[in-house]
Amino acid sequence: DTAVSQTPKYLVTQMGNDKSIKCEQNLGHDTMYWYKQDSKKFLKIMFSYNNKELIINETVPNRFSPKSPDKAHLNLHINSLELGDSAVYFCASSRTSGLEGEQFFGPGTRLTVL
Amino acid sequence: QQQVKQSPQSLIVQKGGISIINCAYENTAFDYFPWYQQFPGKGPALLIAIRPDVSEKKEGRFTISFNKSAKQFSLHIMDSQPGDSATYFCAASMRGSQGNLIFGKGTKLSVKP
């Protein structure tokens, strides 16, 4: 069984389009995250939700909007896509938002903006 | 401003050798230091983690050494195997940060047979 799943795995789109990436976890975790990994493999947190409430919102353009319909899902919607948005986006989850909540990562969504 | 500095950027080791990856941090409020392993096309996975109240933690062939006064920690992979070839990330977080992990830039390890 896949613990943290993301769809789609690959996303190729034109500049200016709006797209969404979906994430689901079946681990019963309370906290979910979105990370961006750039072409140099640098991994940076974007958002974190705990029990459907936003708890971390790093400096991310407001074109990015996370939505958590329930504890098991955290989707990422991106408006007006730009070339610089091309990256791999990882969803992750953890049992708690506390210090040592091991984060389980999904397989990633490679977004390419043309 | 990079809060966790990782080196080297890439590392080539012969099978059976020891791989050593180093990280340094600036914020003394950090008190949880995990290492994540990422294979190509996959998400990162937790390998081993340490709190600053101990100087070393060992799990199998993987050991974290921690030097609080120097604000440095390192990952040692003993008897490195080709299957260990991956990108390794150190990270740090602090109490009250709601799980906000600050990652190093990663080290691409290649273990040659």
pLDDT tens digits, A18-75: 999 999 999 999 899 999 999 999 999 999 888 888 887 787 899 999 999 998 999 9
Chain B residues with CB inside 8 Å of A104's CB? Answer: 45-46
> What Å distances lie between residue B6 and A22, A42, B3, B97, CA to CA?
31, 11, 10, 21
Would you say the C-alpha torsion B43, A39, B1, B23 has a positive or negative sign? positive
- C-alpha span between B18 and B107 (Å, rounded): 15
Say how far apart CA B106 and CA B5 lie, in whole Å: 9
pLDDT at residue A100, rounded to an integer: 64
- Note whether A108 contacts B41, CB cutoff 8 Å: yes
Separation CA B73–CA B33 (nearest Å): 8
Distance, in Å, from the CA atom of A78 to the CA atom of A24, rounded to the nearest integer, reads 18
Find tokens 């604000």 and name the residue.
B71
The mean pLDDT of chain B is 94
Contacts of B103 in chain A (CB under 8 A): 42-44
Q: What is the pLDDT of residue A1?
A: 66
The dihedrals phi and psi of A30, each to the nearest 5 degrees, come to -95, -20
d(C-alpha B104, C-alpha B24), whole Å: 9
CA–chain centroid gap for A25, Å, is 12
